[in-house]
Chains A and B, each alone.
Chain A
Amino acid sequence: MATDVVMPQMGESIFEGTITKWLKKPGETVQRDEPLFEISTDKVDAEIPAPATGVLKEIKVGEGQTVQVNTVVGVIDADGQRPRAQATAPAIGSPELTPEAGSAAGARTAAPAKGAAGTRRGAADTDGPAAAPPLAPARAPQPPAPSSQPDGQTATNEAIEVKMPQMGESIFEGTITKWLKQPGDQVRRDEPLFEISTDKVDAEIPSPASGTLAEQRAAAGETVQVNTVVAVIRAAGAAPARAAAPAPAGPQSAAAVTQLSGSAQPSGRAPAPATAPAADGERIRSSPLVRRLAKEHGIDLAQVRGTGQGGRITKEDIENFIAQGPAQLKPQPAAGGPAAPVAAAAGAIEVPGDLVPMTPMRRKIAERMLESKRISPHVHTIYEVDLTRVASLRARVRGPWEQRNGTKLTFMPFIARAACAALRKYPIVNSSVEGESIRYHRAIHLGIAVALDWGLIVPVIRNAEEKNFLGLARAINDLGERARTKRLNPDDVTGGTFTITNPGSIGGLIGLPIIMQPQVAILGTGGIKKQPVVVTDADGADSISIRSIMHIVLGYDHRIIDGATAGYFLGFLKNFLEEWGEEIG
């Protein structure tokens, strides 16, 4: 078995030490209490004895390095044990407990930290702080030692912690939205283990190792800090018996909804018309006291009339209800007879329907949309675009183009390319308001809204102005694909300077989009439809022709963009598309 060697605490006020010299090399045999390395701290220099007999397997902290007290600086493989990696020492459970019976190191660590005599020799040359330095080994965190391990099976039961990943510099927490594996399930390395939702992106988190999911430490719906341990995986080959062991916080994904949708009321009873509306799904206002009394007396709070503020059931209300006796407690059968005079909830406002909490993404969208409507006075201008030329170009080259380039050819890159050109021509549309100034962005970071089954996200193509048609097409397809498979990085969804949204993809004629703050405009594209259109030829003769027509809309911040500017912008865009003349690669 492996024993960690830690930086000892040499005194009350000493928090770190520098390793000045290793007295043993990896592979060398050491005796317990034999000097292993030398350290230097603020107050003393000392030789530190080995905490166990065995082979020095690994030096984790080299000479000259300064580390915190209790940092693992090396690993000793105790006698007679085959070498085994024990890199992540205090993986599960509390350190410091569970001494390993039979091993010298274990027996030693079992001794309480304070006053472990015999561990002092290394400190012999201290310049005499009063408190005896409690030495290293006494505190060494032990490798996880399952107490209920049947027999000798100590091999390969390495526990691997799964942590909430940091999804970006400015992201400090994430919500686990779904567990894809349950305790006891086998997982392969890189197989999706759970889904998270952060301020910026949703993502599937892959398993860091193969093995058995031993424990979920955070339930679905829970928001935890980055680097919090959310699960423990028992490495492949672990004794299967233990997989089922510690599984608190089981699957609770449905719990929130279930709880909100009311107490499990026996549905057999016909709703008595005179009673208050069966308040399934509605939280009845009461108090901890009232709920406790209701539980103790088996009272359904929907039956109690509340006289407090907003119809709240008060202590007096429930006490009176109890005092009126058991007749009150049983709902009257509705059959035939006169409706039972059950107290109608006079003040209570009952809203039927299920109350389901918003997902973090939905909350974020709600917040952003509201904020944008508040900040920017929105105006929308709509243009009609004849896409016949683009549509026929696309139809003509699509097959070979897609084969050649290995990506889809949609209308979106045409629009994106035209938008970039228009933004270059009218830079005010690619700007932001900062106080009483306007920031003209040098680059175009083009956001493309992607509808998802679970919401909406706007990944951003960076420096879109530098990309040619093919580059834009690839970027659009790549971001769309990664958005739908939850593989976006936070950086993919920030920093946009202009946004395109395509409600037409669902079939709408046009929609009036809301600006993504702090941008000042958003381009919407409608559905493409063949329409009879009056066309005037070069000689001025009119004829009716079948053309592919699309509506485009610019939603803009009227604080800085006037209707005329928006018109010029859209006119340029329209022209660019109608007279498409660029190579598309």
Chain B
Amino acid sequence: MPAVTYLEAIRLALWEEMERDPNVFCIGEDIGIYGGAFKVTDGFIDRFGAERVIDTPIAESAIVGAAYGASLTGLRPVAEFQFMDFIACAFNQIVNVLAKSHYRWGAPAPLVLRGPSGGGVHGGPFHSQNPEMWFVKTPGLKVVCPATPADAYGLMKSAIRDNNPVIFFEHKFLYRRIKEELPNGGGDFTVPLGRARQARAGRDLSVITYAAMVHVALEAAEALAAEGIEVEVLDLRTVLPLDREAIAETVRKTSRAIILHEDTLTGGLAGEIAAIINEEAFDWLDAPISRIAALDTPVPFSPPLEHAFLPKVEDVVREARRLRAW
């Protein structure tokens, strides 16, 4: 099987799940005839029909409300947001209705909310955000942020099959930039929710990260290896629930930790992970925990400013050297 892009992997997983289970359907703005803003569902309407590939008005709250209602009847909707920035329009439906469904009524809500997030594409403040923490703060949801085509494929399948609401943050910078051959020779496989993945092994320092920043970390690790600093990269993949064991394990191994994310620093996931390290691996720490994240501002539109705003390979290299020498 040829290598597939991150976007193709998502598309493939969706397609196969719709083939496999007639309860799965897609709903969103311009996903049918137009094929989606990023063409993830291009051609779906021809194969599955307008009843399973539903175009909606521009009303995110209504999309989520309709998807939730459908999920209560046993269907498995996959709702698309053109940009995850606009998930805020459906905030109440998600945090007060979906997240509480099981806890309040014992009613499973097996739906997936998916869409592109992240910066690096000069999309400006409305089309570049990483709003995962709004939902990581909300018990009752699962939040997924894959970094590779294989994980995007396997996690999408797990998300669709899961009986809880799953928010699936695709990274638009990765959509067509990375490519890999899927394992299992093109056969069906899943990646479990809530499990991190060791993206690179190393002994001197751990970079704990997810989504597009995994690739920044790997590039930094390559540069640092030339200096004799062996970096381990942990790709969280799911950010709610967090894989506490994997976080503890890598820190216990290397005794130094950098937490890296593209979301802004304050209130970002790094603080939470630092707390987990403190709770699980304090006695293994040989240096302070370091956080690298985007600046605490909206995402700038100007390309040089956006470049300055986003965490970069050189940030990781600099912090790694500092911790190594500490």
Binding site for B on A (CB under 8 A): 287-292, 308-309, 312, 314-315
Contact = CB atoms under 8 A, between A and B. Distances in A.
16 contacts: A287-B255, A287-B285, A287-B286, A287-B287, A288-B283, A288-B284, A289-B283, A289-B284, A290-B286, A292-B284, A309-B326, A312-B326, A314-B286, A314-B326, A315-B255, A315-B286
A291 B284 CA distance: 9
Interface in B274-296: 282-287
B325 interface: yes
Contacts of A291: 283
A290 B326 CA distance: 13
Contact of A308 (B282, B283, B325): B325
A289 B282 CA distance: 8
Contacts of B325: 308-309
B interface, over-half SS:
loop
Contacts of B255: 287, 289, 315
A247 to B, nearest CB: 28
Interface residues of B, number: 9
A interface, over-half SS:
helix
A308 B326 CA distance: 6
B161 to A, nearest CB: 31
Contacts of A308: 325-326
Given A288-B282, A314-B326, A315-B286, 9 more contacts: A287-B285, A287-B287, A288-B283, A288-B284, A288-B285, A292-B284, A308-B325, A309-B325, A314-B286
Interface in B245-262: 255
Interface in B287-326: 287, 325-326
Contacts of A288: 282-286
The 5 closest A-B pairs by CB, nearest first: A315-B286, A292-B283, A289-B286, A287-B286, A288-B285
A452 B326 CA distance: 44
Interface of B: 255, 282-287, 325-326
Contacts of B285: 287-289
A290 B255 CA distance: 10
* Most chain A beta-carbon neighbours within 10 Å: one of B284, B286, B325: B286
Contacts of A292: 283-284
A309 B325 CA distance: 7
A160 B285 CA distance: 43
A315 B203 CA distance: 12
Contacts of B286: 287-290, 314-315
B137 to A, nearest CB: 21
A312 to B, nearest CB: 7
A289 B286 CA distance: 5
Contacts of B283: 288-289, 291-292
Contacts of A309: 325-326
Nearest to A316: B286
A314 B323 CA distance: 11
Contacts of B282: 288
A242 B284 CA distance: 42
* Most chain A beta-carbon neighbours within 10 Å: one of B283, B285, B325, B326: B283
A114 to B, nearest CB: 13
A74 to B, nearest CB: 33
B61 to A, nearest CB: 21
A289 B281 CA distance: 9
Nearest to A131: B104
Contacts of A289: 255, 283-286
A204 to B, nearest CB: 38
A343 B326 CA distance: 21
A288 B281 CA distance: 9
A291 to B, nearest CB: 8
Contacts of B284: 288-289, 292
A315 B326 CA distance: 10
A91 B284 CA distance: 41
A288 B287 CA distance: 8
Nearest to B282: A288
Contacts of A315: 255, 286
A41 B286 CA distance: 57
A289 B325 CA distance: 16
A314 B287 CA distance: 9
A315 B285 CA distance: 9
A132 to B, nearest CB: 14
A289 B255 CA distance: 8
A287 B255 CA distance: 10
Contacts of A314: 286, 326
A292 B326 CA distance: 18
A164 to B, nearest CB: 28
B278 to A, nearest CB: 10
A543 to B, nearest CB: 76
A520 to B, nearest CB: 41
A287 B285 CA distance: 7
A315 B282 CA distance: 14
A110 B235 CA distance: 47
B172 to A, nearest CB: 40
Nearest to A290: B286
B120 to A, nearest CB: 34
Nearest to A295: B283
Nearest to B283: A292
A236 to B, nearest CB: 44
Contacts of A287: 255, 285-287
